[in-house]
Amino acid sequence: MRKNQMNVSAPGKLILCGEHAVVFGRPAIALPLSSLRAYASLTPGPAGSGLLIDAPDLARRWRPQGQDDDPLGSLALRTLERLALPLPDALLTLRSDIPQASGLGSGAAIGTALVRALAEALGATLPPEAVSGLVYESERFFHGTPSGIDNTVVAYERPVWFRRHLALPGDGEPPPPTVLLLAVAAPYCFVVADTGIRSTTRLPVGEVRRRWRAAPERFAELFDEIGGLALQARRLLEDGGPPLMLGRLLDQNQALLGEIGVSSPELDRLCTAARGAGALGAKLSGAGWGGVMLALTTPENAPAVATALHAGGAARVFTSELAAG
């Protein structure tokens, strides 16, 4: 193990379009949020001290034992097992600037930082695909049936086109998801607003599954429409298409998310406020019922949209640029 402290970080994320439908095998697009990050540091400890995890944000310090109700500790143990390395004598400190349960990928970011800190401090290299695969397992604990989009975009820290492949009955494990790193041809500017309402992903995801079971054909159509919007959005991003057209797609996606039942009065109010201030399009981002929404704007109009979002009751507003490249 390295003698010095090892510090690493991982970004938050935004889902540009396709959330929820992605759980049911339709494509979606996610963007890394590099300005909001989770951090992990590994500090060598005295010989024989074992591994201690410290999460000051959660006011918790503990030794991982591999229990089911300890997703982060279990992730640390699984990472060491995967690397065929023994438990280090070290203090693993986890911190995050990403608000929890807000649709910003806080769980995936902490998991990713944890895996990388352990691997890098112990001199091992894990490609993003392997990091993502390890974090997916702990996402299961938080989310129930995660699509895998959060751990993927966070591990690659690039805009991704993501499609989960569903297992057919009797077919065993499905093939791994299709992940494409998107080359974005022009910059786009987003203003992101947090409703301040924390929403656990598993609740709206569970409700959408319940509604889908009750009306499978109708929901399959809605998911197909959302997947179709994701495809159009991908073409626009890759061609550097007009922001006005991307904005329209976001508005259409928001209308469909409302139909599947995951928007909320607060999210609707913020989307309306953003559009009223000249945003080119607006939608919730993530699981919904709370958490964040995003508005596509021109760089010139971003301050006016931010002001309108504050006035519309947002608990926190920030701007994020999707750079070309």
Number of shown-chain residues binding ligand PMV (CB under 6 A):
15
Q: Please, which residue, 98 or 277, has the CB nearer to ligand PMV? A: 98
Q: Considering the complex, what minimum distance in angstroms separates the CB of residue 318 from ligand PMV?
A: 16
Q: Considering the complex, what minimum distance in angstroms separates the CB of residue 80 from ligand PMV?
A: 26
| DSSP secondary structure string for all residues of 193-209 | EE-S----THHHHHHHH
Q: Considering the complex, what minimum distance in angstroms separates the CB of residue 106 from ligand PMV?
A: 9
State yes or no: residue 263 binds ligand PMV (CB under 6 A). no
State yes or no: residue 103 binds ligand PMV (CB under 6 A). yes
State yes or no: residue 287 binds ligand PMV (CB under 6 A). yes
Q: Cα separations (Å) of 289 from 28, 181, 267, 292, 317?
A: 19, 29, 8, 9, 18
Identify which range of 122-130, 142-150, 234-242, 311-319 contacts ligand PMV by CB under 6 A.
142-150
Q: Please, which residue, 19 or 266, has the CB nearer to ligand PMV? A: 19
Number of neighbours of residue 314 by Cβ within 10 angstroms? 24
Q: Please, which residue, 150 or 194, has the CB nearer to ligand PMV? A: 150
Show the tokens assigned to 176.
């791994």
Site string for ligand PMV, 58-97 (x = CB under 6 A): ----------------------------------------
CA dihedral angle for residue 148, residue 263, residue 260, residue 283, rounded to 10 degrees: -70
Q: Considering the complex, what minimum distance in angstroms separates the CB of residue 1 from ligand PMV?
A: 33
Number of neighbours of residue 209 by Cβ within 10 angstroms? 16
Show the tokens assigned to 99.
């608000």
Q: Which of 37, 116, 143, 163 binds ligand PMV (CB under 6 A)?
A: 143
Cα-flanking dihedrals φ and ψ of residue 157, to 5°? 50, 45
For residue 8, with 0-12 CB atoms within 10 Å meaning exposed, 13-18 middle and 19 or more buried, which class applies? buried
For residue 230, give every residue at least 6 positions away whose Cβ sits within 8 Å of its Cβ, in sequence order, or none. 17, 18, 21, 26, 27, 28, 29, 161
Q: Which of 16, 71, 150, 274 binds ligand PMV (CB under 6 A)?
A: 150
- Using CB under 6 A, which residues numbered 18 to 37 contact ligand PMV? 19-20, 22-23
Q: How far out from the chain centre does Cα 138 lie?
A: 13
Identify which range of 82-90, 126-134, 139-147, 298-306 contacts ligand PMV by CB under 6 A.
139-147
Site for ligand PMV, rule CB under 6 A: 15, 19-20, 22-23, 103, 143, 146-147, 149-150, 201, 205, 286-287
